[in-house]
Amino acid sequence: MSIRARMSVSPRNSRSTHNSPKHRGRSSRRRLVAAVSGIAAAVSLGAFGIVTHQATATPAAPAAEEQVGPPQKTFAAATAYALAHPAAVPTGANDWSCRPSAEHPTPVVLVHGTFENRYMNWAGLAPKLKDAGYCVYAPNYGGKEGQLLQGIGDMADSAGQLSAFVDKVREQTGSSRVDLVGHSQGGGLMPRHYMKNLGGAAKVDKLVALTPNNHGTTLSGMATMAKFIPGAEDLTGAACPACMQQTTGSDFVTALNEGGETDPAVDYSVLATRTDWVITPYTSSYLAKADNVTQSKLQDHCPLELTEHLGISYHQTATRFVLNALDPAHAQKLTC
């Protein structure tokens, strides 16, 4: 998934009508549609092949069982494990017998990002939160059950899935509210849709977001990939509705941000990274300033750090950021 490509730029001295602002706008939109189409089709179809192969090689566990995977130190290691165990639960998550303590009375729900799943995203953080004394839960959403890559479905539908999962956590733990910790889509547009449009603001105390997509993304650097995928644009709606919804200026982004980006009943914490190649520009992660919003970038604390979008949920500074946001009374200085 680590794709670095450069978009071609017309020479400045060109006098062609193709360089007019109107044409450039249409061309940019076509490249953007093709880009997300290509990545959706390529990754989704590739994942289908992987999942099919693994299903043939390894019989699936009964649906009622949740296989717990080992802790991981990197996104790459977690992804490698998930290839053979796409439905795995990260260590420490989904212990439905857990009861919140007086020290940590609010259960934590971990919400993965696009083209990820609960294990790929949270195999590092979930066990650390569990060890810190939290009741931790992690759903898969936005994809078929047992499919490797999740978070690709319509974000309004995914918000409904999150709503049902949060209600289950509240019922099982007896807690009136939960804290959400999310990455990318899972820390930005999707849970904010849940809070704004599905009554979630009354059920969420904190939203802690790592590289969220709060103002969408231009997907800069991925456009070149699309020209290698014939017919990719036609597949976008079926392959990854969430991809188009996350583009800068989409109807979904516009509607969600109208009338205010935050709810006064919820505390928001945002951590971005300057070297993000997925949320572009990286400042799209930031919410509008408000008294209940705390946000910074990784390089504010580690100036030379190059960790990008996929790696941030495994970074020790991001882990401390999450712990501080969940329990500000016992916050510790962020270090590298």
pLDDT digit string (tens) for 17-58? 334 444 444 444 444 434 433 343 333 333 333 333 333 233
Q: Which are the contacts of 299, defined by CB distance < 8 A and separation ≥ 6?
A: 273, 274, 275, 305
pLDDT tens-place string over residues 154-184: 999 999 999 999 999 999 999 999 999 999 9
**pLDDT tier for residue 219 given thresholds of 50, 70 and 90:** low
pLDDT tens-place string over residues 246-292: 889 999 999 999 999 999 999 999 999 999 988 999 999 999 999 99
- Note if the bond before 281 is cis, omega within 30 degrees: yes
Average pLDDT taken over every residue of the chain: 81
Output the pTM of the full model. 0.80
Q: Is the pLDDT of residue 16 over 70?
A: no
Of 268, 305, 115, the closest CA to residue 192 belongs to 268
| The pLDDT value given to residue 258 | 97
**pLDDT tier for residue 149 given thresholds of 50, 70 and 90:** confident
Could you tell me which residue, 257 or 63, shows the higher pLDDT? Answer: 257
Pairing of strands 136-137, 108-111: parallel
Q: Which are the contacts of 201, defined by CB distance < 8 A and separation ≥ 6?
A: 195, 263, 265, 266
Q: Is the pLDDT of residue 306 over 70?
A: yes
| The pLDDT value given to residue 238 | 63
| The pLDDT value given to residue 299 | 97
| The pLDDT value given to residue 33 | 39
Tokens 């309004």 belong to 156
Could you tell me which residue, 274 or 336, shows the higher pLDDT? Answer: 274
Distance CA 108, CA 292 (A): 19
Distance CA 220, CA 129 (A): 33
Mean pLDDT of 69-74: 98
**pLDDT tier for residue 243 given thresholds of 50, 70 and 90:** confident
| Cα-based angle 191, 195, 198 (whole degrees, multiple of 5) | 105
Distance CA 79, CA 77 (A): 5
The SS3 assignment for 25 reads: helix
Q: Residue 299, class by beta-carbon neighbours within 10 Å (0-12 exposed, 13-18 middle, 19+ buried)?
A: middle
pLDDT tens-place string over residues 186-197: 999 999 999 999
| The pLDDT value given to residue 160 | 98
Task: Give how far Cα 107 sits from Cα of 94, 122, 331, Å.
Answer: 11, 16, 18
